[in-house]
């Protein structure tokens, strides 16, 4: 559940009545859910989701998945369908689906399966930090003991900058330029940095951010 809430999902199912039911479940637990129409690969290319859920009765569904697999070995794929043919089962194995569910399925069963497959998300985009913290580079999400730490837009940009510095000190000027570059004005000052750092530290384990007077701030890595 904790990791699931930071992931994105592309949902492909043209059975309108069922789609509405399952879509509401996905939207309840995922960070973002995209619903595709006929242009399947176009949706995939635009959103690059963490998870693809597809009804294999959708026309050209397996052709689409093969095309995805040619360029992406890591995306998690779940079949949610009424198709239980032997050929389909063989295709699912060949194309490395992470899950195969037959409709109808309850919300509880679907949620549990989503939690299960979310653990298979490749950790190559995760940066492990002290105090049981980790930073997801792709979604720009911070976790503590697998719980999502909710950050404001500026807090997220500041943390991203500190990550990029890889344990080196970050000066006030660097922070001002990076965090406020989109709407910098004369009211932004070094006191704004102090307030931002103070608010961010309240959300983090003690000692994760270190500062040195006259030098700047850094993550303890």
Label residue 167 exposed, middle or buried (CB < 10 Å: 0-12, 13-18, 19+): exposed
Mean pLDDT over the full length of the chain: 89
pLDDT over 60 (residue 2): no
Average pLDDT over residues 41-47: 93
Here the tokens at position 90 are 């063989």
Give me the CATH number covering residue 72: 3.40.50.2300
User: Do residues 81 and 55 make contact, with C-beta atoms less than 8 angstroms apart?
Assistant: yes
Q: Do 8 and 117 have their domain in common?
A: yes
Which pLDDT belongs to residue 181? 80
pLDDT tens across 22-37, in order? 999 999 999 999 999 8
pLDDT over 60 (residue 15): yes
Strand 76-81 relative to strand 51-54, pairing: parallel
Q: Do 192 and 167 have their domain in common?
A: yes
- Give the residue from 121, 138, 163 where a domain finishes: 121
pLDDT over 90 (residue 186): no
Number of domains in the chain: 2
Percent of the chain with pLDDT over 70: 95
Q: In Å, how far from its chain's centre is CA 166?
A: 22
Which pLDDT belongs to residue 124? 59
pLDDT tens across 187-206, in order? 778 888 999 999 999 999 99
Give me the CATH number covering residue 209: 1.10.10.10
Whole-number Å distance between alpha carbons of 62 and 41? 12
Q: Which residue has the higher pLDDT, 214 or 63?
A: 63
**Is the alpha carbon torsion for 24, 29, 34, 40 positive or negative?**
negative
Which pLDDT belongs to residue 3? 73
Q: Do 203 and 156 have their domain in common?
A: yes
- Give the residue from 87, 106, 121 where a domain finishes: 121
Structure confidence at residue 182 as a pLDDT band (50, 70, 90): confident
Q: Do 96 and 141 have their domain in common?
A: no
Q: What is the domain range of residue 70?
A: 4-121
Q: Which residue has the higher pLDDT, 189 or 171?
A: 171
Which pLDDT belongs to residue 74? 82
Q: Do 78 and 186 have their domain in common?
A: no
pLDDT over 80 (residue 1): no
Q: Which residues contact 135 (CB under 8 A, 6 or more apart)?
A: 126, 127, 129, 141, 142, 143, 159, 163
Average pLDDT over residues 195-221: 93
Alpha-carbon separation of residue 45 from 12, 38, 49, 68, 171 (angstroms): 14, 14, 9, 9, 37
Q: Do 87 and 166 have their domain in common?
A: no
Structure confidence at residue 123 as a pLDDT band (50, 70, 90): low
Which pLDDT belongs to residue 214? 86
């Amino acid at each position: 559940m904790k990791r699931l809430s930071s992931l994105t999902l592309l949902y492909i199912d043209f059975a309108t009545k069922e789609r509405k039911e399952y879509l509401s479940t996905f939207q309840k637990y995922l960070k973002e859910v995209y619903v595709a129409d006929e242009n399947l690969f176009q949706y995939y290319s635009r959103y690059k989701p963490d998870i693809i859920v597809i009804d294999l009765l959708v026309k050209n569904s397996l052709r689409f998945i093969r095309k995805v697999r040619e360029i992406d070995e890591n995306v998690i794929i779940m079949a949610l369908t009424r198709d239980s043919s032997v050929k389909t089962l063989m295709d699912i194995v060949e194309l490395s689906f992470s899950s195969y569910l037959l409709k109808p399925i309850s919300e509880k069963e679907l949620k549990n399966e989503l939690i299960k497959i979310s653990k298979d998300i490749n950790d190559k985009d995760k940066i492990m930090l002290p105090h049981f913290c980790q930073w997801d580079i792709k979604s720009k999400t911070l976790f503590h003991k697998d719980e999502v730490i909710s950050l404001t837009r500026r807090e997220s940009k500041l943390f991203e900058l500190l990550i990029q510095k890889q344990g080196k000190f970050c000066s006030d000027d660097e922070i001002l330029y990076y965090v406020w570059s989109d709407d910098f004005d004369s009211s932004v000052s070094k006191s704004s940095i102090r307030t931002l750092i103070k608010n961010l530290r309240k959300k983090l384990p003690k000692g994760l951010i270190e500062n040195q007077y006259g030098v700047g701030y850094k993550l303890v890595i």
